Amino acid sequence: MKNIYETTLITVWRVLIGLMVMAAIFVGVSIHQALNTTVTTNVVSFSGEGKVLAKPDVAVIDFSIVTEAATSKAAQDANSEKSNKVTDFLKKQNIEDKDIKTISYNIYPQYEYPRGGVPRIKGYQVSQTIEVKVRDLDSVSSILDGVVTAGANQIGNLNFEIDEPEKLKAQARELAINDAKDKASTLKNQLGIRLGRIINFSEGVVGYPVPMYESAMLGKGGGVGGGPSVPSGENEITVDVTITYQIK
């Protein structure tokens, strides 16, 4: 009888201890959730903006050499001859090999559509697009004229850019952070709050290149009137930041 009583008592104690452990775990989780809720709800964010203006130091031009012939080989051979002349011209302007690259090369069959008949291939068109980076901005106009004279018959885009923008982004970021902190310092008194630690930071970077020069297809062997006027202007880099503080 005594053994049955002791066994029952031990079982009851084990059940009680188990319930107490589960209750402790539940309380601990509840407290953790409450603390996390406090951290994520008692916060305030301040935004800041930083802008840096700088003159571009490089021009990026892309242009195409478009050639048509009766056969694919003839079109490619003629296109290659023009491409070599263009490349030779660019190298004579002290443009390095690393700043000249082909960004697309396409061969298109050209069809004719006889009335009531079946479409048939009448020839081929080869289009090679080259991108060149010009570091001497004073030579941009003459290079535009020269590549056309050498064989390019389509000028695509011209963008004035900053070759190494990271330093300017860092300057703009510092200005944006200072702007956000100044707002925090001013508004905390107006709002009647005390700021704690920073719990989140985010940023966005926006660059504003100068307007892009675009040209339509140019006539064979023609220039562009001695070279167009292409002022480089200024580029603007803007960084927006948001700093989130915990409220004490």
Q: Per residue in 85-133, pLDDT tens? A: 999 999 999 999 999 999 999 999 999 988 878 899 999 999 999 999 9
- Rounded to whole angstroms, the Cα distance separating 232 from 235 reads 9
pLDDT band at 16 (very low <50, low <70, confident <90, very high): low
pLDDT at 25 over 70: no
Phi-psi region of 227 (alpha: psi -120 to 50; beta: other; left: phi over 0): left
**% of the chain residues with pLDDT over 70:** 73
Q: Averaged over 137-145, what is the pLDDT?
A: 92
Phi, psi of 7 (to 5 degrees): -65, -40
User: Structure pTM?
Assistant: 0.63
What pLDDT is attached to residue 203?
92
Interacting residues of 226 by C-beta distance below 8 A, sequence separation 6+: 145
What pLDDT is attached to residue 74?
97
Gyration radius from the chain CA atoms: 35
Average pLDDT over all residues of the chain: 81
What pLDDT is attached to residue 20?
60
Among candidate residues 204, 218, 246, the one with its CA nearest the CA of residue 155: 218
Using CA of residue 220, residue 222, residue 227, residue 229, what is the dihedral sign? negative
What pLDDT is attached to residue 12?
52
Answer whether 90's CB lies under 8 Å from 143's CB: yes
> Which comes out higher in pLDDT, residue 59 or 116?
59
Angle between helices 140-150 and 72-92 (to 10 degrees): 150
How long a stretch of residues is the chain?
Answer: 248
What pLDDT is attached to residue 225?
45
**% of the chain residues with pLDDT over 90:** 56
pLDDT at 218 over 50: no
Among candidate residues 86, 136, 59, 75, the one with its CA nearest the CA of residue 108: 75
pLDDT band at 41 (very low <50, low <70, confident <90, very high): low
What pLDDT is attached to residue 111?
93
What pLDDT is attached to residue 4?
58
pLDDT band at 205 (very low <50, low <70, confident <90, very high): confident
